[in-house]
Structure 1
Amino acid sequence: MAKRIDAKNVDIYYGAFHAVQDVSLTVEPRTVTAFIGPSGCGKSTFLRTLNRMHEVIPGAHVKGSVTLDGTDLYAPGVDPVAVRRMVGMVFQRPNPFPSMSIFDNVASGLRLNGVKNKGVLSDAVERSLTAANLWNEVKDRLGRAGMGLSGGQQQRLCIARAIAVEPQVLLMDEPCSALDPISTLAIEDLINELKEQYTVVIVTHNMQQAARVSDRTAFFNLAAQGKPGRLIEVGATETIFSNPTEKATEDYITGRFG
């Protein structure tokens, strides 16, 4: 199920503004890759190009190549909606659909894809909630509103919703920034489990979190405000945190700036 991402010479623009410059990296299947760097350096913007979510902003466009197991995600005729089914996303703040029950939140993507069989939907909901370590907590109240869950449970519900459509890649944009430490630990444990099936990419400002959950780390930075963000260094997380090649990486990780 998990697939490899290759980005080559990616430049990202919002209208005339050059947001991210010349990023090339590979994300291996069944790994967790963390994007770190100071605010405004383009890591979340780059993350969104991996499933074409940046295109919801008028004027946004990309130059370069992003492929999923060799398939060009930006080739003419490729449907962005189809890309987002293959490359799911979990956002910074939990965002259950407010008018939907727990069951309907998880089943929503499948229904959009035309699945109507109640048995198939029920099996998929149970499987996804189980994979998100939420089934035992909610199995007796699937008809209640998803918004009635705690923040940590809501985020796991959103993860269940994302994986219900069986993507190959799961993107997470600061998924723990709005959560308490106990909920954060639960999400981190879940990330470690999810990489057995999925390719996972996470943006985080938490250095300790990056060190705990990721196999590889990519450090982004920018020369100055208003300049495009760039990928400074990428490698095994242990190496990036203990013996980085670039001084800017070391300065950021040790807290000298950022």
Structure 2
Amino acid sequence: MAQRIDVKDLNIFYSDFLAVEDVSMAIEPKSVTAFIGPSGCGKSTFLRTLNRMHEVIPGARVEGTVAMEGVDLYGDDVDPVAVRRQVGMVFQRPNPFPTMSIEENVLAGVRLVNKKISKSDAADLVEESLRHANLWEEVKDRLAKPGSGLSGGQQQRLCIARAIAVRPQVLLMDEPCSALDPISTLAIEDLITELKQDYTICIVTHNMQQAARVSDRTGFFNIAGTGKPGKLIEMDDTGVMFSSPSEQATEDYISGRFG
């Protein structure tokens, strides 16, 4: 299920403004890749290019290549909706659909592409997805209740269940714990560690300890100043990045001297 992503010479634009410049990297399957760096350096912008969410913004575009198992996701014959099914996304703040029940939230994406799913298949998928999100035991007796009635940490795990219900190959997470308390954060981190057995996971985080705990590889993004493009400064195994990075700017950021 998990897929490798190769990014080569990627430039990301908002109209004529170059937001992120010349990124090349390999994202390995069945692993967690963390992106760290100061605010405004393009981490989240880069993350959104991996499932073509970036181009939803008017005037936004990319140059370069984002290939999944050798297939360019920006090829002329590639459907961006199909890309977003293969590359799921979990956002910074939990966003369950407020008028939908827990069960309906899990099935929301599936019903968009498969309106004919049977009741029994739907029930099985809901349970499977909630189990994978470590939420089933907490909500199995109230599946018909609104998803918005859950706690913040439960809502975020519900959003993860919704993302994996469509059986993607890659999961993108944009600061998934920034709005959560420490106990909920730990639950999400434990879940990420479990999910990497089946998925390729990319996570943007401002929490250095979180990046060190959950990721296998870490990429450090930085920006030279206001109006300048963000750049990938270096990327390596997480243990190397946090113990002996190659660039002084990386060491300064990780040690808290700036950012």
Measured against the shorter chain, the TM-score band is over 0.9
SS at match of 1:193: helix
Aligned equivalent of 1:222: 223
Aligned equivalent of 2:23: 23
Give 1:98-177 correspondences, 5 Å limit. 98-114=98-114, 115-177=116-178
CA distance in structure 2 between the partners assigned to 1:88 and 1:166 by the alignment: 9
Letter in 1 for 2:132: A
Aligned residues: 258
SS at match of 1:78: coil
Structure 1 residues 93-126: Cα deviation after superposition (integer angstroms, max 9, x where no partner): 0000111000000011111112421111111110
Instruction: Give, in angstroms, the shift of residue 226 of structure 1.
Output: 0.8
Aligned equivalent of 2:64: 64
Aligned equivalent of 2:89: 89
CA distance in structure 2 between the partners assigned to 1:139 and 1:56 by the alignment: 35
Instruction: Give, in angstroms, the shift of residue 77 of structure 1.
Output: 2.3
CA distance in structure 2 between the partners assigned to 1:5 and 1:177 by the alignment: 26
CA distance in structure 2 between the partners assigned to 1:87 and 1:119 by the alignment: 26
CA distance in structure 1 between the partners assigned to 2:27 and 2:80 by the alignment: 20
CA distance in structure 2 between the partners assigned to 1:191 and 1:219 by the alignment: 20
Instruction: Give, in angstroms, the shift of residue 225 of structure 1.
Output: 1.1
Instruction: Give, in angstroms, the shift of residue 141 of structure 1.
Output: 0.3
SS at match of 1:256: coil
Letter in 2 for 1:158: C
Per the normalisation by structure 2, the TM-score is 0.99
CA distance in structure 2 between the partners assigned to 1:124 and 1:225 by the alignment: 47
Structure 1 residues 150-188: Cα deviation after superposition (integer angstroms, max 9, x where no partner): 000000000000000000000000000000000000000
Q: Is the 8 A contact 1:110 1:121 kept in 2?
A: no
Q: Is the 8 A contact 1:102 1:145 kept in 2?
A: yes
CA distance in structure 2 between the partners assigned to 1:242 and 1:127 by the alignment: 39
CA distance in structure 1 between the partners assigned to 2:10 and 2:126 by the alignment: 36
Structure 1 residues 48-104: Cα deviation after superposition (integer angstroms, max 9, x where no partner): 000000111100000000001111100002111100000000000000011100000
CA distance in structure 2 between the partners assigned to 1:203 and 1:194 by the alignment: 16
SS at match of 1:3: coil
CA distance in structure 1 between the partners assigned to 2:43 and 2:83 by the alignment: 20
Aligned equivalent of 1:245: 246
Aligned equivalent of 1:42: 42
CA distance in structure 2 between the partners assigned to 1:121 and 1:229 by the alignment: 43
Per the normalisation by structure 1, the TM-score is 0.99
Instruction: Calculate the aligned-residue CA RMSD, in Å.
Output: 0.5
The worse-fitting range, judged by mean Cα deviation, of 127-136 and 76-85 is: 76-85
CA distance in structure 1 between the partners assigned to 2:121 and 2:232 by the alignment: 43
CA distance in structure 1 between the partners assigned to 2:203 and 2:36 by the alignment: 9
SS at match of 2:167: coil
CA distance in structure 1 between the partners assigned to 2:77 and 2:29 by the alignment: 25
Aligned equivalent of 2:5: 5
Structure 2 gaps of 5+ residues are none
Regions of 4+ moved over 2 Å: none
Letter in 2 for 1:182: I
Structure 1 gaps of 5+ residues are none
CA distance in structure 2 between the partners assigned to 1:77 and 1:236 by the alignment: 34
Aligned equivalent of 2:202: 201
The worse-fitting range, judged by mean Cα deviation, of 73-82 and 210-219 is: 73-82
Structure 1 residues 207-239: Cα deviation after superposition (integer angstroms, max 9, x where no partner): 000000000000000111110000000000000
Aligned equivalent of 2:75: 75
